[in-house]
Amino acid sequence: MTETVAFVGLGNMGGPMSARLVRAGYQVRGFDPAEPARQALAGAGGTAAPDLAGAVRGASVIVLMLPNSDVVEATVHDGGFVAEPGATVVDMSSSEPMRTRALAAELAERGVTLVDAPVSGGVSRARSGELTIMTGGEPADLDRVAPILAHLGTATRAGAVGSGHAVKALNNLLSATHLLVTCEAILAGERFGLDPETMLSIFNRSSGRSGSTENKWPTFILPGSYDSGFGLRLMLKDMRIATGLADQVGTPDPLGHAAAELWARAAEALDATADHTEIVNWLRKDPAR
Ligand code: NAD
């Protein structure tokens, strides 16, 4: 019998990810309050459930691809979350590691397993099935969902439950911090008279290179498309998870906090739907003066 996978959260990432599982042959029942997201799943050959219970009922694996821990918890606590004992919940959202641990313990009392499997790679890699997936959970539980994750990307086991969420947030703190300083460097170079493309080609053969210089600047910023599909507010959320984690475990992170404060100012100044690559436009307005 074909395995039934519930997919909750069919947005920028969950849309293409659920469509890949349909193409891989799973019976995918998806739910999202947004009608166009449900229609897209139906168009891809999946089943769009009218409510949460319609997606979750009878599914052996329940994938969550939701904005944050608040929404993940609200979903799991919803009366429609009718997961049966023996089911495995895979939280692929970028959630808060400490809250993930607590939620896993709570679900275990209902006989339901939770593993975390957040991703990196953005919308294009969600479409191509080349996401970097970082997982947290017991090895036997991760073995159970490994065939599903294999259709979405390459998974690396980070440790116990919550570990995937921890490393994901830390990764995005790095990503956001170097994107901001890359924007600062390129704007300074431009004002000096350097050509951005020339700068990038030199950075990319030097020690200043990063995902910001190799991918984000050439793909989304130089052409002015700002369409990475990863919202600026979602990036800020991840940075705050990472700095919160450092605070909780008691390690120093003055640069991380400073970067998060700057991103918070950008989030206030820019449109609510701004892409994270639009951080450069906030800088261009010369926020320091
Ligand atoms: P998104 O806002 O496009 O999608 C989230 C979806 O969740 C929306 O369609 C929304 O309608 C739905 N939703 C909200 N409340 C819901 C509920 N109660 N029940 C069911 N669905 C609900 O966000 P996204 O870009 O797809 O990101 C999803 C997660 O993946 C976030 O945690 C984000 O940080 C992470 N992430 C995003 C990217 C990216 O490039 N977009 C990359 C890596 C990780």
139 with 66, same domain: the answer is yes
* pLDDT per position as a tens digit, 209-229: 999 999 999 999 999 999 999
pLDDT at residue 143, rounded to an integer: 98
For residue 29, report the phi and psi dihedrals to the nearest 5 degrees: -115, 115
One domain for residues 155 and 186: no
Q: What is the rounded end-to-end Cα distance, in angstroms, of the chain?
A: 64
Q: Please, which pLDDT band fits residue 199 given cuts at 50, 70 and 90?
A: very high
151-185 pLDDT per residue, tens? 999 999 999 999 999 999 999 999 999 999 999 99
Contact 231, 274 (CB under 8 A): yes
Q: Could you say which of 160, 178, 206 is where a domain stops?
A: 160
| Predicted confidence (pLDDT) at residue 288 exceeds the cutoff of 80 | no
Q: What's the domain count of the chain? A: 2
146 with 272, same domain: the answer is: no
Q: Is residue 289 assigned to a domain?
A: no
Residues 195 and 243 in one domain: yes
Burial (Cβ within 10 Å: 0-12, 13-18, ≥19) of residue 8: buried
Q: Which atom of ligand 1 is nearest to the CA of 34?
A: 11
User: Do residues 225 and 139 both lie within one domain?
Assistant: no
pLDDT confidence of residue 1? 56
Q: Does position 260 have pLDDT exceeding 80, yes or no?
A: yes
Give me the pLDDT at residue 286, please. 67
Tell which one of 41, 66, 226, 278 to mutate to probe ligand 1, the residue whose CB is within 8 A of the most ligand atoms. Answer: 66
Q: Are residues 261 and 180 in the same domain?
A: yes
* pLDDT tops 60 at residue 289: no
Q: What is the mean pLDDT of residues 35-63?
A: 98
Question: Are residue 10 and residue 69 in the same domain, yes or no?
Answer: yes
Q: How confident is the model at residue 2 (pLDDT cuts 50, 70, 90)?
A: confident
Note whether 100 and 139 are same-domain residues: yes
Per the structure, the complete domain to which residue 259 belongs is given by 166-284
Ligand 1 centre to CA of 67 (Å) is 4
Model pLDDT for residues 6-16, shown as the tens digit of each residue: 999 999 999 99
Positions marked active-site: 168
CB of 65 closer than 6 A to ligand 1?
Answer: yes
Predicted local confidence at residue 151, as pLDDT: 98
Given a contact cutoff of 8 angstroms between Cβ atoms, the answer to whether 219 and 200 are in contact is no
Examine the domain organization and report whether 211 and 146 are in the same domain.
no
> What confidence score (pLDDT) does residue 19 get?
98
